[in-house]
């Protein structure tokens, strides 16, 4: 996992730099800088708009005695988008802007949930005072030890 993250933090900025240099080669300096500034400003405007939507939707759900729990992932994605938009580069800006588009966020969430389900085994166990038969796939084993009081030497 560390190696993958290291590659991610090296390859993405390198790709952004190469892309910016290629754009500079064909468009000169001023349009290249303008492109980075325009994508950053557009992303910041979209992030502010999405954050406002998130706050209004959360308040509305709370006022209706509903828990806005699924909006937490939207909030995390909007914050990640803001971080990506601060980073100069075309690739990071496009990824950040895509995280601010609700349909893209839904797609990213579905891919993330699929990855979590594929990568981790999650087992649950419900305890009750009644004797119930638990299906084999639902058993979680564990041990509990009561701490012993300290005895003098």
Kindly state whether residue 57 falls inside one of the protein's structural domains: yes
Kindly report which listed range (26-40, 91-105, 115-129) carries the lowest average pLDDT score: 115-129
Kindly state whether residue 34 falls inside one of the protein's structural domains: yes
Q: What's the 3-state SS for 10-62?
A: HHHHHHHHHHHHHHHHHHCHHHHHHHHHHHHHHHHHHHHHHHHHHHHHHHHHH
Confidence at residue 103, expressed as pLDDT on a 0 to 100 scale: 92
- The boundaries of the domain holding residue 113 are 9-121
Q: Is the pLDDT confidence value at 89 over 80?
A: yes
Kindly state whether residue 113 falls inside one of the protein's structural domains: yes
- 3 state DSSP class of 72: helix
> Stretch 125-145: mean pLDDT, rounded?
57
Residues 6+ apart with CB under 8 A from 3: none
Q: Mean pLDDT of all residues in the chain?
A: 80
Kindly state whether residue 76 falls inside one of the protein's structural domains: yes
Confidence at residue 131, expressed as pLDDT on a 0 to 100 scale: 57
Please state the pTM of the whole predicted model.
Answer: 0.66
Domain count, the chain: 1
Question: In the 8-state DSSP scheme, what is residue 146?
Answer: P
Q: Is the pLDDT confidence value at 19 over 60?
A: yes
């Amino acid at each position: 996992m560390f190696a993958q993250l290291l590659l991610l933090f090296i390859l993405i900025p390198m790709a952004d730099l190469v892309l910016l240099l290629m754009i500079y080669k064909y468009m000169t300096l001023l349009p290249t800088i303008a492109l980075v500034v325009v994508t950053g400003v557009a992303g910041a405007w979209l992030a502010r708009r999405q954050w406002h939507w998130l706050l209004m939707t959360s308040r509305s759900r709370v006022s209706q005695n509903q828990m806005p729990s699924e909006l937490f992932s939207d909030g995390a994605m909007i914050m990640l988008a803001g971080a990506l938009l601060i980073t100069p580069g075309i690739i990071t800006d496009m990824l950040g802007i895509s995280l601010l588009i609700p349909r893209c966020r839904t797609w990213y969430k579905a891919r993330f949930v699929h990855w979590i389900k594929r990568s981790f085994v999650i087992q649950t166990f419900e305890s009750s005072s009644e004797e119930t038969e638990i299906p084999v796939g639902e058993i979680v084993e564990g041990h509990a030890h009561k701490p012993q009081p300290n005895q003098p030497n």
